Structures are given as structure tokens and as C-alpha cells.
Amino acid sequence: MALPKINDVPEYTTVVPSTGKKVTYRPFLVREQKVLMVALESGDEDQIIRAIVNTVDACYRDVNVNKLATFDIEYLFTQLRAKSVGEHSKLSYKCSECETPNDVEVDLTSIEIKVDRSNTSIKLNEVYTLKLRYPGHLLLSDISKTVTEEKSTITGTLYNIAAACLDELQTEDELIKFDDEKREDINEFLENLNTSQFDKVMEFVMNLPKLTKEVEFDCINCSHHNSFTLQGIGDFF
């Protein structure tokens, strides 16, 4: 006789930051939580990221995790964690004045990501308009591995991210998709931009949305007022 499923699983909705698409999700269950805990205990960053991505994939409907930007993954997991474990995350931070540890509670439901979708097109000249995109987390992960293995410079890393942000090149008569082009041809395209055009691409790269939240607290020991910014999913848990 099969054992019964004793719990009804509620569903919630949220919005994918990069697209504005409304999606449905369920809280993660013990099977997903176990994988997350094992990954966290390992301390291995790659294993933790894989566990987070797999949890988002398991709990969200109609979401292709491979096409999500890094900040999408971070935001969706934060919302998922809030409904699964609790809406507040208790963190410990040292006072910047006396270094006394302070417990700080962060409301995960108050975290927002501001995405300006109006800046994804750059008019290069009277003929060409460049369409940019938020690079998927898989692309950024590959770039990160390249940095580690080849000890790439900061300039080289930013250049690679810029290439990953190229989506389409539009004219009145033609639409060129960069996914259909060879990497060497994409590199040549970037190298042939003038300084002003390239600066606009880099402005987009440098302002890619991030999961951030301003946190303030008064030290329990010296009453010094502390203010800092949480950034990236690792800071919230």
C-alpha cells in the first residue's frame, strides 16, 4: 500500500525581474532542503550554486532556469526561501566601531531588484541599432571558470561579459542574432566599435542589476550606528 501525501502544497506568484513575467511556485520540500543543506555544509561554491539553481527549477512552473540571469536566480530563490523557511533571515555582523557581533534580521520579502528595460537598445549610427540582453547565469558561470583557469585580467573579464550581453544587431532590412555568429566574429565586431559606442555597451555591463539591500543597526555594545549593503545571495543566508 502506497503511503499517502499528507500535506497540501500551497502556490504563490512572483515576477521574473529581467522579463516582468509572472510565474507560479511552491515552497521547497524536505527533499530540496536536504540537498541545499548538504551543499551549504560542503562550502563548495559551485555545489551551492547548482543546488540553488536545481531548487528553483524544481519549484517554479514554466521557468527555463538555463535562460535566467544571475539576478533572476538570486531573486527567485530569495522569494522561494521566504515562503519555505521564513520571511526573515537572521544574520550576524560585527560593529564597524567595536567589532561586537550583532544579530540583524532581514525581511526577505522587502528585497527588490530594479531593472531598467529601457536601456537595452543602443543606436550605434543611422544604420545600426544594437540590442543588449542580460546574460544568463550559465554564460556568466562559464566566464567565471575561464577567469579562474586562465587567470584572466579584469579588462578581459569585462570584455567577455560585454560579448555575452550582445543580443541582436538591427537595420531596416536585416536582423542579426549574435547567438548565430562565431565567437571570433563577435570579438571582431566589438573591436571595431568606436570608443563612444563601446562605452555605452560597458555602461550597460557595469550596471547589470544585482540583488542588494541596505541594512542599518545600532550596536548593542557601543550604540554606534552601522550601515552596510547586502549584495549577492551569499550575503542573505
195-213 pLDDT tens trace: 999 999 999 998 888 888 8
- What pLDDT band is residue 150 in, cutting at 50, 70 and 90? low
The model's pTM:
0.80
- Residue 17, sorted as left (phi over 0), alpha (psi -120 to 50) or beta, turns out to be alpha
Q: 93 and 217 in contact (C-beta within 8 Å)?
A: yes
Q: 77 and 233 in contact (C-beta within 8 Å)?
A: yes
Least confident of 111-125, 142-156, 182-196: 142-156
What mean pLDDT do residues 171-188 have?
91
Is the pLDDT higher at 19 or at 233?
19
78-120 pLDDT tens trace: 999 999 988 888 889 999 999 999 999 989 888 888 887 777 8
Q: How far apart are CA 77 and CA 59, in angstroms?
A: 10
- For the chain, domain boundaries: 12-113+210-235, 124-206
In the chain, what percentage of residues exceed pLDDT 90? 46
Q: What pLDDT score does 181 carry?
A: 92
SS3 18: coil
C-alpha cell at 119: 536601456
Sign, CA torsion 234/205/55/43: negative
N- to C-terminal Cα distance for the chain?
40
Nearest Cα to Cα of residue 160 among 110, 201, 99: 201
- What pLDDT band is residue 227 in, cutting at 50, 70 and 90? very high
If you compute the radius of gyration of the chain from its CA atoms, what whole number of angstroms results? 21
Residue 67 sits at the vertex; the CA angle it makes with 139 and 78, to the nearest 5 degrees, is 95
SS3 177: strand
Hey, which residues does 101 pair with through a beta bridge?
Answer: 94
What mean pLDDT do residues 18-40 have?
91
Q: How far apart are CA 108 and CA 184, in angstroms?
A: 42
Residue 215 sits at the vertex; the CA angle it makes with 134 and 53, to the nearest 5 degrees, is 40
Q: 71 and 140 in contact (C-beta within 8 Å)?
A: no
